């Protein structure tokens, strides 16, 4: 089975974010980056399928030169090769623009299965995977927590609201967006990193792929820190002082304890 896993590099989860002076995006200068966690789960699911059924796992990532680190980590965790779409403005792309790049990069790949996280931790549109399926003419399922192979296709378990699930069957090739917990997150070993450096990374640009930008149907006018509407009573001082004040409020104001 040939499996492509589309991964994204995002600012590290505990980053303190501030707004760039342009007011259009966050200040990127001092950020550190990591793989989007749901994409790490998708990579894990792809590697498990490969281990069970044989084949190949190809990591696909669009972004500026810094994403080379995330690609290297994916290779160290077990991906066989990678495609890096070099795109400086990747953070400003809407999901249709990103999916058009990904689709073009897969034009000659013919994968059996494409996996990606159900959304990104940065923009959080939750759309790129589904749009990629549409552009490639593939059936898809979203928010997938389990994948099993059938004769000529797959059966997946989709998560729905309120503790409900549903199985969906579909032929291959197909695209799945992956929910957290589907696989065990993997960590790169030293041996893996050493091997990763010898693996193939195909580097392409939007121009190489012949992808011209479309007129945007949504424009982002302003990026800002949300206004807080609720006034939380915050307790300050040492941990002991803050804890004592909180207990006092819980006893005499909220009357809970």
Partner 1 sequence: MSILAVMEQRGGVWNRMSFETLAAARQFAKELDTTASAAVLGQSIGHLAGELASKLLDKVYAVEHALLQGYTPDAYTIALRQLVELAKPSIVLFPHTYQVRDFLPKLAASLGRVAVSDAVSHRVDNGQVVLVRQLFQGKVAVDARFAGEAPHFASLQAGAYRADQLAGPEPAGATPPAAAVETFTPRISPGDIRTRPLELFRESQRAVDLGAAEIVVSVGRGIQEAGNIPLVAKLAEALGAELGASRPICDAGWLPMERQVGSSGQTVAPKMYMAIGISGAIQHLVGMKASRTVVAINKDPNAPIFEVADYGIVGDLFQVVPALVEALQKAK
Q: Which of residues 93-112 bind partner 1 (CB under 8 A)?
A: 94-96, 99
Q: Does 225 bind partner 1 (CB under 8 A)?
A: yes
In which residue are the tokens 């291959």 written?
172
Residue range at the interface with partner 1 (CB under 8 A); choices 71-79, 169-177, 189-197, 202-210: 169-177
Residues near 146 by beta carbon (within 8 Å), at least 6 away in sequence: 156, 157, 182
Nearer to partner 1, 4 or 38 (CB): 38
CA pair distance 122, 26, nearest whole angstrom: 10
DSSP 201: E
| Residues comprising the chain, all counted | 257
Please, which of residues 12-71 interact with partner 1 by CB under 8 A?
13-14, 16-17, 19, 26
Q: Which of residues 68, 104, 170, 188 is near partner 1 by CB under 8 A?
A: 170
Is 193 within 8 Å of 199 (Cβ atoms)? no
List 21, 22, 198, 233, residue binding partner 1 (CB under 8 A): 233
Distance of alpha carbon 257 from alpha carbon 249, whole angstroms: 10
| Residues 111-150 interacting with partner 1 (rule: CB under 8 A) | 118, 121-128, 130-131, 133-135, 139-143
Residue 52 or residue 247: which is nearer to partner 1 going by CB? 247
Give the CA radius of gyration of the chain.
21
Contact 113, 173 (CB under 8 A): yes
Report if residue 8 touches partner 1, rule: CB under 8 A.
no
Residue 22 beta carbon to partner 1: minimum distance, rounded to whole angstroms: 13
- Asked if 161 touches partner 1 (CB under 8 A), the answer is yes
Peptide linkage before 193 cis (omega within 30 of 0) = no
Q: Cβ distance 104 to 214 under 8 Å?
A: no
Q: Compute the least distance from the CB of residue 41 to partner 1, in Å.
A: 8
Quote the least distance from Cβ 70 to partner 1, whole Å. Answer: 18
Q: Does 247 bind partner 1 (CB under 8 A)?
A: yes
Q: Is 226 in the site for partner 1 (CB under 8 A)?
A: yes
């Amino acid at each position: 089975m040939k499996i492509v896993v589309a991964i994204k590099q995002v600012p590290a989860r505990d980053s303190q974010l501030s707004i760039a002076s342009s007011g259009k995006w966050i200040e990127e200068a001092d950020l550190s980056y990591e793989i989007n966690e749901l994409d790490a789960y998708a990579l894990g699911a792809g590697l498990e399928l490969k281990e069970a059924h044989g084949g190949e796992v190809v990591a696909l990532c669009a972004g500026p030169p810094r994403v080379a680190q995330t690609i290297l980590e994916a290779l160290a965790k077990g991906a066989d090769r990678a495609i890096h779409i070099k795109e400086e403005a990747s953070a400003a792309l809407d999901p249709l623009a990103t999916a058009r790049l990904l689709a073009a990069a897969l034009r000659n790949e013919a994968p059996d299965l494409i996996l990606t996280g159900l959304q990104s931790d940065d923009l959080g549109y939750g759309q790129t995977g589904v749009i990629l399926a549409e552009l490639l003419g593939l059936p898809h399922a979203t928010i997938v927590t389990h994948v099993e192979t059938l004769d000529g296709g797959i059966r997946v378990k989709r998560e729905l609201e309120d503790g409900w699930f549903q199985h969906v069957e579909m032929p291959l090739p197909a695209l799945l967006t992956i929910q957290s917990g589907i696989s065990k997150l993997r960590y790169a070993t030293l041996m893996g990193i050493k091997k990763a450096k010898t693996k193939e990374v195909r580097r392409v640009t939007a121009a190489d792929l012949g992808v011209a930008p479309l007129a945007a149907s949504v424009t982002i006018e302003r990026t800002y820190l949300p206004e807080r509407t609720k006034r939380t009573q915050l307790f300050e001082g040492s941990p002991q002082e803050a804890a004592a004040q909180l207990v006092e409020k819980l006893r005499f104001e909220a009357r809970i304890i």
